[in-house]
């Protein structure tokens, strides 16, 4: 199915780099229309893990940061999988179809997360497997996305973190500056049919443009470069429904809870713009003008902005963010200017 899907996308104008859709011939224009029109994108940079079996719900409940018992078929959740030290090993959106739970996460972290989860199955009746090949994944966003998807498939989730199932399509509504959706198709026909329908009044965009919409929404991602760098609160998971402090234990829970209840949070994630023509990467360091030796923060993700430079999410020392004068790479590097997130920090 993946090969046929790639051939289909190439026929529609997709240009690939490293086996991912980079753009459709005009990346600058694609970035511009992200904030003004209906766009849709192949989400091939994401992978999917399936978990099923008699003990699957209790097993996942003991591993992840959110309350799995609240995950009905019409709900999706952000979840962190942490080390015993409370550092995020993997960050994913969890949804379910029937008795099977699905974790979608950046593909470059999938193998490590899957291998570690399998270590803890022991005698539990749980099967974990990479099912990325079973789904074709499409992102859709824009002010008219609700109407376009409703016309195409009959309905859409009414709220963020809600899910609907229509035939071979599962549709997740995810947070965004504009209405934003992730569609998971289990057949080539369903995926190509939806793509062709959206292509009438919308425009396909590449990976960078879609990841820009994640950044603008203030939704973090953990890539291979940033594995085990951040505690959940550092990437604002408590503000985007990715943490439940009332559920039972999971790896790193004591550290996460201590940071929450003792008020020891010294870093959090900020949205910003970087005045540079060179691409920043996840885990790149940020410095203040006053200290060129110790980093004040790290990039979570960064993508080109249509107005120039790069939009970025970065975990920063709270004091450094308040003071400003942040720079990428060293104390005199490209400036990082903090901007407002679409949600508020805790009072």
Look at the chain and report how many structural domains it folds into: 2
**178 with 268, same domain?**
no
**Residue 171: which of 187, 195, 155, 151 has the closest Cα?**
155
Within the chain, where are the H helices? 2-11, 27-34, 56-61, 107-119, 145-153, 188-201, 207-217, 253-261, 318-323
Residue pLDDT, tens place only, 289-298: 987 789 999 9
pLDDT at 265: 87
* CA–CA dist 174, 181 (Å, integer): 6
In which band, very low, low, confident or very high, does the pLDDT at 260 lie, cut at 50, 70 and 90?
confident
pLDDT at 347: 65
DSSP annotation of 324 reads -
**11 with 143, same domain?**
yes
In the predicted structure, residue 248 carries a pLDDT above the cut 90: no
pTM confidence score: 0.95
Least confident residue range of 69-83, 134-148, 247-261:
247-261
Per the CB < 8 A criterion, the answer to whether 70 and 79 are in contact is: no
Q: Which of 173, 193, 222 is the last residue of a domain?
A: 222
**276 with 187, same domain?**
no
In the predicted structure, residue 243 carries a pLDDT above the cut 80: yes
Residue 152 belongs to what domain range? 1-222
End-to-end alpha carbon distance in the chain: 49
**26 with 59, same domain?**
yes
Q: What is the mean pLDDT of the chain?
A: 95
Residue pLDDT, tens place only, 178-211: 999 999 999 999 999 999 999 999 999 999 999 9
User: Considering the domain boundaries, does residue 142 fall inside one?
Assistant: yes
User: Considering the domain boundaries, does residue 346 fall inside one?
Assistant: no
Residue pLDDT, tens place only, 108-140: 999 999 999 999 999 999 999 999 999 999 999
User: Considering the domain boundaries, does residue 152 fall inside one?
Assistant: yes
**113 with 164, same domain?**
yes
* CA–CA dist 31, 304 (Å, integer): 8
Helix axes 188-201, 2-11, angle to 10 degrees: 20
**Residue 302: which of 320, 329, 321 has the closest Cα?**
329
- CB within 8 Å of 50: residues ≥ 6 apart: 100, 101, 102, 103, 127, 128, 129, 130, 131, 134
């Amino acid at each position: 199915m993946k090969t046929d899907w790639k051939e289909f996308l190439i026929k529609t104008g997709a240009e690939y780099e490293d086996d991912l859709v980079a753009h459709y011939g005009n990346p600058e224009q694609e970035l511009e229309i992200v904030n003004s029109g209906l766009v849709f994108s192949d989400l091939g940079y994401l992978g999917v893990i399936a978990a099923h079996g008699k003990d699957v719900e209790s097993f996942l409940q003991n591993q992840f940061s959110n309350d799995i018992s609240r995950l009905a078929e019409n709900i999706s959740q952000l979840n962190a999988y942490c080390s015993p030290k409370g550092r995020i090993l993997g960050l994913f959106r969890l949804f379910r179809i029937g008795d099977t739970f699905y974790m979608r996460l950046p593909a470059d972290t999938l193998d490590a997360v899957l291998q570690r989860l399998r270590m803890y199955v022991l005698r539990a009746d749980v099967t974990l497997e990479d099912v990325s090949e079973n789904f074709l994944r499409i992102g859709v966003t824009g002010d008219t996305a609700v109407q376009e998807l409703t016309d195409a498939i009959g309905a859409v989730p009414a709220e963020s973190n809600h899910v609907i199932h229509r035939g071979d399509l599962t549709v997740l509504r995810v947070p965004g500056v504009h209405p934003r959706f992730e569609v998971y198709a289990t057949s080539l026909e369903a995926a190509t049919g939806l793509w062709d329908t959206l292509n009438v009044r919308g425009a396909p965009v590449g990976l960078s443009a879609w990841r820009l919409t994640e950044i603008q929404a203030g939704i973090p991602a953990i890539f291979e470069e940033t594995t085990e760098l951040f505690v959940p609160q550092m990437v604002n998971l408590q503000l985007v429904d990715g943490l439940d402090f009332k559920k039972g234990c999971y790896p790193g829970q004591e550290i996460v809870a201590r940071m929450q209840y003792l008020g020891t949070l010294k870093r959090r994630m900020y949205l910003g713009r970087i005045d540079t023509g060179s691409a920043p990467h996840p885990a790149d360091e940020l410095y203040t003008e006053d200290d060129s030796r110790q980093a004040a923060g790290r990039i979570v993700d960064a993508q080109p902005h249509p107005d120039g430079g790069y939009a970025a999410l970065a975990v920063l020392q709270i004091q450094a963010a308040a003071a400003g004068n942040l720079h990428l790479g060293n104390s005199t590097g490209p400036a990082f200017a903090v901007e407002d997130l679409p949600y508020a920090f805790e009072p």
